Structure 1
Amino acid sequence: MIRLDATQLLENAGDLAELLVGTVNGGASVGFLAPLARAQALAWWRERAGDVAAGRLAVWAALDGDRVLGTVGLAFPGKANSRHRAEIVKLMVHPDARGRGLGRGLLTTAENAAAAAGITLLHLDTETGSPAERLYRSAGWTPAGAIPDYAADPRGVLRPTTIYYKHVPATAPTR
């Protein structure tokens, strides 16, 4: 896993876009409707570069040579009373690479980086009943509850979302 700086994110935006398109068009609910066009995915990734450069977002990629097989993000809130927490965002593994432990590896990478940054509480949301729930539960995440009709899945059907949290031991002072 490598952490992408803003320049690397832009250099890999095409591969990241392909990952996002494959994930959404493969049925995973990560905030987009299918069919997702490559141009839309590319624009979305390029827009993230500013947040990465400003330190509001950290992005890691799992690579096989030059090919991006997976990604995860860690979003840091800007409020003074929230500096102890962060959100796991856009954990994606290419459909061709699933079942190899990449999702777990990406999640662990983000958790360890959060702890190193002084983060003590992580949270995320995922579609209720999705395969991702098995990963989060097996990795020690706690469900806080489900919200009905929270977001549309890639087909446009409203689905419930489960909110998860996890306490992590900080290894550095809070940001």
Structure 2
Amino acid sequence: MFNELEIEQLISIGEHTEELSELLIQVVEDGGSIGFLPPLELVDAMNYWEEVLSPNVHLFVAKRNNRIIGSIQLHMCTKLNGLHRAEIVKLMTNPHYRRNGIGRLLMEKAEEVAVKEKKSLLILDTREGDPSNLLYNSLGYIKAGKIPNYVKSVNGELHGTNIYYKEINIF
């Protein structure tokens, strides 16, 4: 089904702003805990994407038939004592394409670039109980702990977030 799936790094948001915004809105509307609450307005989603890229952020997208159906960000730490680490941020898959390995492929691409960038430690966080926890565990990420009441859902309920890390061999 996904032989036409490709993972691509974007170096400019420009022509992709609307597609990325639609993806973000779909994921938020489906309950994704990625920093936004529904309803997410198109203008707010577009404003978010226009601010994402910087020299320290890698943005990858999954495309099927030349349409963006997933994305992930790799944020390089710029602190002098943290130049060896990076953070996985906002892994998103269009709800209609979940459970097809797209998230895994995006994670693998982010890890591949982290190795090329000589990052030996990756970190991420995700809402406790979300299916993404299973993905991160299956990829060898280790749960370092949980912060209770970290994120709020649309109904006002507070949820914990799990903090994960993975040490990778860069040699």
1:18 is the counterpart of 2:22:
yes
The SS at the match of 1:125 is strand
| Residues 144 and 164 in structure 2, CA contact (< 8 A), matched pair in contact too | yes
Shift of residue 66 of structure 1?
2.7
Give the equivalent residue in structure 2 for 1:97. 97
Question: How do 1:129-168 residues align onto structure 2 when only pairs under 5 Å count?
Answer: 129-168=129-168
| Residues 22 and 95 in structure 1, CA contact (< 8 A), matched pair in contact too | yes
Shift of residue 153 of structure 1?
2.8
| Residues 29 and 154 in structure 1, CA contact (< 8 A), matched pair in contact too | no
Q: Which runs of 5+ in 1 are unaligned?
A: none
* Alpha-carbon distance in structure 2 between the residues aligned to 1:104 and 1:154: 27
RMSD: 1.1
Give the percent of matched residue pairs that are identical in Structure 1 and Structure 2.
Answer: 39
The runs of at least 4 consecutive aligned structure 1 residues that moved more than 2 Å come to 153-157
Give the equivalent residue in structure 1 for 2:4. none
Give the total of aligned pairs.
165
Give the equivalent residue in structure 1 for 2:8. 2
TM-score scaled to structure 2, two decimals?
0.93
For residues 12-35 of structure 1, the C-alpha deviation after alignment (integer angstroms, 9 at most, x for no partner) is: 011000000000000110000111
TM-score scaled to structure 1, two decimals?
0.91
**Higher helix proportion, which one?**
1
For residues 14-66 of structure 1, the C-alpha deviation after alignment (integer angstroms, 9 at most, x for no partner) is: 100000000000011000011111111111001113x2xxx210000000123
The SS at the match of 1:48 is coil
Q: In the alignment, residue 163 of structure 1 is paired with which amino acid? A: I
The SS at the match of 1:87 is strand
* Alpha-carbon distance in structure 2 between the residues aligned to 1:13 and 1:153: 26
* Alpha-carbon distance in structure 2 between the residues aligned to 1:155 and 1:69: 27
* Alpha-carbon distance in structure 2 between the residues aligned to 1:154 and 1:18: 19
The SS at the match of 1:113 is helix
Q: In the alignment, residue 8 of structure 2 is paired with which amino acid? A: I
Greater relative contact order: 1 or 2 (C-alpha under 8 angstroms, separation 6 or more)?
1
Q: Which runs of 5+ in 2 are unaligned?
A: 1-6
Structure 1 residues 129 and 109: alpha-carbon distance in aligned structure 2, compared to 1, 3 A threshold: same
Structure 1 residues 98 and 13: alpha-carbon distance in aligned structure 2, compared to 1, 3 A threshold: same
Shift of residue 152 of structure 1?
1.4
